[in-house]
Structure 1
C-alpha cells in the first residue's frame, strides 16, 4: 500500500531532478548562448552602421541632385510655358509650400497664373452630391446642363467657366471673349455660384482666362467614410472620384491637364494612384514638392499643351521620371536669331496666344 510518505518522497525527488537539470543546463549552455547573442548583436550593430552610412550618402546625393536641378532649371524651363495661362486647382489639404514651389516653376517657364480655386471639403463629400447636382442646374444659365453624375456635370461646368475657348473655337462661333456675357454665359458668375455655396474659394481672376489647369493633390490621402464596414485601408475616398472627374473635365476642355502630388498621392487610397489605375488621359506627377518634381510638373504642363500626356515620377504606374522627349520651347514674338522677320513672313505666336492649341 502506497502511503503519504511515498508521495512526499516522489515529489521531492521530482523537484530535485528538475533543479539539478536546470543547474546543469544553464551551466553547460551559458557560454554558447551568450556567445551567440553577443555575435548576433555585433552583426546587427554593424548592419545598422552600414545602413546609416548609406542613408547619409543617399541624402547627400539627393541634396546635390536638387542643387544641380535648381542650377539648371532656368535653362530647362526657358519658354516652355510662354503665353500659357495656368489655373491652379487645389483640393482640400494641399501643402502650401508645394503649391508655392509649383507656381514659381510655372512662372519660371514663362507661364502666368491668373488665379486659383481652393476647394472646401464639402465639395467631395458624397452627402453633398445631390446639392452639387442641383447647383449645376441653377448655374446652367438657361442652357441645358451637362449630362452624367453630379461630379461629372459639376466638373464640366467648372471647366467651361475656367478654360478660355481656343482661337479655332472662336472662329467657328464668331464669338469674342468680351461678348461671352452678352451671349448669355458669365463664367465669373458660375465660379461665384460655387463660391457662395461654400464649395470653393476663388483667388485672383481665372474665369475664362485660363488655358490649362494644374490640379494639386492633398498632402494626405482623403479619408474613407466611417460607414465602410469593415474599414479597409486600400479603399479610395469618394472625394478622389469627385476631383478625378473635375480633372478629366478640365483635360477635355483644354485638351490637357496635369494632376500632381507628393509620395502620399500614390499610396493605397491616394488620388494619383486611383487616377493611374483608371488610366485617365491627363498627365500625373507624383514627385511634386521636391526641386526636381516641381520642374517635372512644369514640363508635364508643357507637353500637355502639345496634346501629350503621361505618368511621371517614381511611384507605381509611371512611364518615366520625366517626359521623353522633352517639350519644345514656346517661341516668343522675337525669333531666335535676333533679326526681324522678313517681309511677308508670319511672326511667331504672341505671348498671350494659347500654345499648342
Structure 2
C-alpha cells in the first residue's frame, strides 16, 4: 500500500532531480552555449547601433538636401516670374506643402493673385446636385451659366464657373467684372465649398494646383475623378502646374501623366512636398509661361526628368 512516507520520498526525489538539472544546466550555459548567446547578442547590438547611425546619417543628409534646395532657390529663382500673375489652387490633399509652394513663387517674383482652398465638401460626390444648382444661382452677367458645361457633373460645372472668374479669359472674350468675381467667390465660400485666404486681386494668367496623395475612403475613385475635373477646367491659360506628392494610386499627378491629352498641357511635379520639388514647381511654371511647354518632373513613376531644362 502506498502511504504518506512514499509520497514524501517521491516528491523529494522529484525536487532533487529538478535541482540537479538546474545546476547541470546552469553549468552548461556558463560554458560554450552561454558564450555563443553572448556573441549573438553583442552582434545584434552592434548591428542595431550601425543601423541607427545609418538612419541618422540619411536623415541628416535629407535635411541638408532640403537646405541646399532652399538656398539654391534664393540664388536661382529671383526674377524668374517677375510680374507674372499666378493663382494658387489648393486641393484638400495638398494642405501640407501649400505654404512651401507659395514661398517659392514669391521668391521668383510672382504676383500671387490669391490662394483658393477647395474644401472636401466640393469633392464629395454627395453634393453633385447642390453644386449644379449653385453654379446656376452664383452665375453673373459677365460669368453666365450659359457658358458652363451642361453634362450634369456638379464639380465640373462649378469648377468651370470658378475658373472663368479667377483666370484670364480667352482672347476676344469680355472680361469678368470685379463685382461679379467677388459675388461668385462669396457664393461658394458662404456655402462652404471653397475658402479664399485673401481677397483675389484679379484674374491670373497661370495656376498652380497643389495636390497630394489619392483618396482611400469608399468614395475614393469618384473623389480622385473630381480632382481631375477641377484641374481640367482650370487648364485654360495653357500655364498650369500640378504641385503633387507621389505619382501612383490614381492621384492627380498619375492621371495627368497617364493621359496623353492632359500631359500635353498640364505640367506635374511629384515631389512638391519637398523643397526640391517646390523649386522644380516654379521652374515648370517658368517653362509653361516662356516656352508654352508642359513637362512631367520629379522622382516618381513616368517622370520625364528631375527638373525642366529651360532655354537660356
Q: 1:21 to 1:212 in 2, by over 3 A?
A: same
Alpha-carbon distance, 1:121 to partner: 2.2
- Tell me the residue number matched to 1:337: none
TM-score, normalised via structure 2 length: 0.76
Gaps of 5+ in 1: 229-234, 330-357
Please say if residues 121 and 127 of structure 2, whose CA atoms lie closer than 8 Å, have aligned partners that are also in contact: yes
1:211 pairs with 2:242: no
1:189 pairs with 2:183: yes
Q: 1:163 to 1:144 in 2, by over 3 A?
A: closer
SS at match of 1:204: coil
Alpha-carbon distance, 1:22 to partner: 8.7
Bigger mean CA offset, 13-22 vs 271-280: 13-22
In 1, Cα distance between equivalents of 2:81 and 2:71? 19
SS at match of 1:258: strand
Please say if residues 242 and 253 of structure 2, whose CA atoms lie closer than 8 Å, have aligned partners that are also in contact: no
- Tell me the residue number matched to 1:254: 237
Structure 2 matches for 1:54-65, cutoff 5 A? 54-65=54-65
Alpha-carbon distance, 1:272 to partner: 4.4
- Tell me the residue number matched to 1:127: 126
- Tell me the residue number matched to 1:34: 34
Q: 1:144 to 1:84 in 2, by over 3 A?
A: closer
In 2, Cα distance between equivalents of 1:137 and 1:224? 31
Does 1 or 2 have the higher relative contact order (CA < 8 Å, sep 6+)? Answer: 1
1:115 pairs with 2:110: no
Alpha-carbon distance, 1:87 to partner: 0.5
SS at match of 1:79: coil
Please say if residues 266 and 272 of structure 1, whose CA atoms lie closer than 8 Å, have aligned partners that are also in contact: no
In 2, Cα distance between equivalents of 1:269 and 1:248? 19
Alpha-carbon distance, 1:146 to partner: 0.6
1:319 pairs with 2:307: no
- Tell me the residue number matched to 2:160: 156
Alpha-carbon distance, 1:28 to partner: 4.9
Aligned partner (choices 192, 196, 200) of residue 198 of structure 1 = 192
Q: 1:95 to 1:38 in 2, by over 3 A?
A: farther
- Tell me the residue number matched to 1:304: 288
SS at match of 1:283: strand
Gaps of 5+ in 2: 8-12
Please say if residues 85 and 204 of structure 2, whose CA atoms lie closer than 8 Å, have aligned partners that are also in contact: yes
TM-score, normalised via structure 1 length: 0.68
In 1, Cα distance between equivalents of 2:292 and 2:32? 70
1:143 pairs with 2:146: yes
Q: 1:268 to 1:34 in 2, by over 3 A?
A: farther
Kindly tell me the number of residue pairs found equivalent between the two proteins.
297
Q: 1:201 to 1:63 in 2, by over 3 A?
A: closer
In 1, Cα distance between equivalents of 2:59 and 2:297? 22
Alpha-carbon distance, 1:139 to partner: 3.8
In 2, Cα distance between equivalents of 1:89 and 1:27? 73
In 2, Cα distance between equivalents of 1:199 and 1:175? 27
In 2, Cα distance between equivalents of 1:270 and 1:42? 46
Q: 1:50 to 1:311 in 2, by over 3 A?
A: farther
- Tell me the residue number matched to 1:88: 88
- Tell me the residue number matched to 2:269: 285
